[in-house]
A and B are shown apart, each in its own frame.
Chain A
Amino acid sequence: MNPYFLDHLKRRTFLENSFTGIGAVALAGLLGRQESLGAPSGIPEAKSGTGILGEKRHRPVKVKRVIHLCMAGGQSHLESFDYKPKLAELDGKPMPASFTKGQQLAQLQKQAGKLKCMGPQFEFTKSGKSGQEISNVFPHLQKVADEIAIIRSMQTEQINHDPAHTFMNTGSIIPGRPSMGAWVNYGIGSEAEDLPGYVVLTSEGGGQGQPISSRQWSSGWLPSQYQGVQFQSKGDAVHYVANPPGVSRDAQGELVDSVNKMNRLFGKTRHDPEIEGRIAQYEMAFKMQASVPGLMDVSAEKPETLERYGCQPGDGSYAANCLLARRLAERGVRFIQLYHRGWDHHGGIKANFEKTANLVDQGTAALIRDLKDRGMLEDTLIIFGGEFGRTPMAQGSGRDHHINAFSMFLCGGGVNGGVTHGATDELGYAAMEDPVHVHDLHATMLHLLGIDHLRLTYRFQGRDFRLTDVFGHLIKPVLA
Chain B
Amino acid sequence: MKQLVRTIVLSDSYAQSSQNSPELEERDPYNRLLARQRGIRLPAELIRDNALTVSGLLNPEIGGRSVKPYQPAGYYQHLNFPRRKYAEDLNENQYRRGLYTHWQRTFLHPSMKAFDAPAREECTMVRESSSTPLQALVLLNDPSFVEAAKALAAESEDILDMFERALTRRPTAAEVAVLEELLASEESRFAADAEAVGQLLGVGMKGVSADQRSQLAAKTSVARGILNLQETITRY
Give residues in A with beta carbon < 8 Å to B: 1, 4, 6-8, 10-11, 14-15, 17, 162, 196, 211, 213-215, 218, 224, 227, 229-230, 232, 234-236, 238-248, 251-252, 254-256, 258-259, 261-263, 265-267, 269-272, 274-275, 277-278, 281-282, 284-286, 288-289, 316, 461
B128 CB contacts on chain A under 8 angstroms: 213-215, 218
Max chain B Cβ within 10 angstroms of own Cβ: one of A238, A240, A263: A240
Given the known A-B contacts A239-B134, A241-B141, are A259 and B30 also in contact in the complex, defined by CB atoms under 8 Å?
A: no
Q: Which of B191-232 contact A (CB under 8 A)?
A: 193, 195-203, 217, 221, 224-225, 228-231
Total contacting residues, chain B, CB less than 8 A: 74
CB A317 to nearest CB in B, in angstroms, measures 12
CB-based contact B146/A244 at 8 Å: yes
Asked whether, in the complex, the Cβ of B78 is within 8 Å of the Cβ of A229, the reply is: no
Is B116 part of the binding interface, using a Cβ–Cβ cutoff of 8 Å? yes
Contact with A along B15-45 (1 / 0, CB 8 A): 0000111100110011110000011010000
| 20 intermolecular pairs with C-beta atoms under 8 Å apart | A4-B32, A14-B29, A211-B119, A213-B128, A240-B141, A246-B202, A254-B182, A255-B182, A255-B221, A262-B178, A266-B231, A271-B20, A271-B25, A272-B230, A274-B234, A275-B230, A278-B230, A281-B131, A282-B228, A316-B78
Given contacts A240-B140, A240-B142, A259-B229, 10 further A-B contacts (CB under 8 A): A1-B126, A224-B132, A236-B72, A244-B143, A244-B199, A244-B200, A245-B200, A258-B179, A271-B25, A277-B131
Residue of A1, A11, A218, A274 near B230 (CB, 8 A) is: A274
CA distance in complex: A278, B231 (Å): 11
In contact, A214 and B224 (Cβ under 8 angstroms): no
**B230 and A255 form a contact (CB under 8 A):** no
Residue B64 interfacial (CB < 8 Å): no
B121 within 8 A of A: yes
B175, A245: Cβ atoms closer than 8 Å? no
Chain B residue contacts of A218, Cβ below 8 A: 128, 130
B residues near A289, Cβ cutoff 8 Å: 137
- Interface residue ranges of B111-149 to A (CB < 8 Å): 111, 114, 116, 119, 121-122, 125-126, 128-138, 140-143, 146
Contacts of B175 in A (CB 8 A): 262, 265
B77 proximity list for chain A (CB < 8 A): 235
Q: How far is the CA of A282 from the CA of B230 in the complex (A)?
A: 11
A268–chain B nearest beta-carbon distance, Å:
9
Chain A contacts for B168, CB-based, 8 A = none
A246 in contact with B197 given A224-B131, A261-B178 (CB within 8 Å):
yes
Residue B186 is within 8 A (CB to CB) of chain A in the complex: yes
Contact B198 A246 (CB under 8 A): yes
B133 and A285 contacting across the interface, CB-CB below 8 Å: yes
| Overall SS of chain A's interface | helix
**Are B196 and A224 in contact, with the CB atoms below 8 A?**
no
Is B30 a contact partner of A270 (Cβ separation < 8 A)? no
Decide yes or no: A281 and B132 within 8 Å by CB, A245-B203, A246-B198, A258-B181 being known contacts.
yes
Find out whether the CB atom of A238 lies under 8 angstroms from the CB atom of B134: yes
* Residue in B closest to A195 when the chains form the complex, CB atoms: B133
Tell me, in angstroms, the Cα distance from A66 to B125 when the chains sit together.
Answer: 32
Let me know if B140 and A246 touch, CB within 8 A: no
A206 to chain B, nearest CB (A): 13
In the complex, residue of chain B having the shortest beta-carbon distance to the beta carbon of A230: B134
> Measured between alpha carbons, how far is A244 from B178 in the docked complex, in Å?
22
B1 at the interface (CB under 8 A from A): no
Residue on B nearest A287 in the bound complex, by CB: B133
A242 to B141, CA, bound (A): 7
Are A271 and B199 touching (Cβ within 8 A)? no
Q: Distance in Å from the Cβ of B210 to the closest Cβ of chain A?
A: 15
Q: Are B133 and A229 in contact (CB under 8 A)?
A: yes
Select the residue from A196, A258, A269 with max chain B CB neighbours within 10 A.
Answer: A258
Contacts of B122 in A (CB 8 A): 162, 211, 213
Contacts of B195 in A (CB 8 A): 246
- Chain A residues with CB below 8 A from B196, complex form: 246-248
Q: Is the CB of A274 within 8 A of B30?
A: no
Shortest distance between the CB of A291 and any CB in chain B (Å)? 11
From B32, B38, B136, B225, give the contact of A281 (CB < 8 A): B136
B172 CB within 8 Å of chain A: yes
Across the A-B interface, the 4 shortest Cβ-Cβ residue pairs: A246-B199, A246-B200, A211-B121, A285-B136
B132-180 residues with Cβ-Cβ distance < 8 A to A are 132-138, 140-143, 146, 172, 174-175, 178-179
* Chain B residues in 8 Å Cβ range of A227: 130-132
B137 & A288 in contact (Cβ 8 Å cutoff): yes
CA distance A243 to B142 in the complex (A): 9
Contact A234 B78 (CB under 8 A): yes
Is A245's CB under 8 angstroms from B136's CB? no
Contact of B229 among A239, A245, A266 (CB under 8 A): A266
A224: chain B residues at CB < 8 Å are: 130-132
Chain A positions within 8 Å of B217 at CB level:
246
Which of B19, B75, B142, B178 is the one whose CB lies under 8 Å from A270?
Answer: B19
A229: contacting residue among B134, B141, B201, CB under 8 A = B134
Contact between chains at A270 and B119 (CB < 8 Å): no
In-complex Cβ contact of A244 among B135, B141, B225 (8 A): B141
B66 part of interface (Cβ distance < 8 Å): no
Docked complex Cα distance between A215 and B130 (Å)? 9
Question: Quick check: B230 and A214 within 8 Å, CB to CB?
Answer: no
**CB < 8 Å neighbour of B25 from A1, A14, A286:** A14
- Tell me the smallest distance from the CB of B164 to a CB of chain A, in Å: 14
Q: Is there contact, CB below 8 Å, between A262 and B30? A: no
Known contacts: A214-B116, A258-B182. The answer to whether A11 contacts B31 by CB under 8 A is yes
Q: Is B189 an interface residue (CB 8 A)?
A: yes
Q: Does B110 contact A (CB under 8 A)?
A: yes
Of A17, A241, A274, A285, the residue contacting B22 (CB under 8 A) is: A17
Partner of B39, one of A248, A261, A265, A272: A272
Instruction: Establish whether residues B136 and A282, one from each chain, have CB atoms under 8 Å apart when the complex forms.
Output: yes
In the assembled complex, how far is the CB of residue A9 from the closest CB belonging to chain B, in whole angstroms? 10
Q: Considering the chains assembled together, what is the distance between the CA atoms of A289 and B142 in angstroms?
A: 13
Cβ–Cβ < 8 Å partners of B106 in chain A: 211
Highest count of chain B CB atoms <10 Å: which of A218, A234, A259, A272: A259
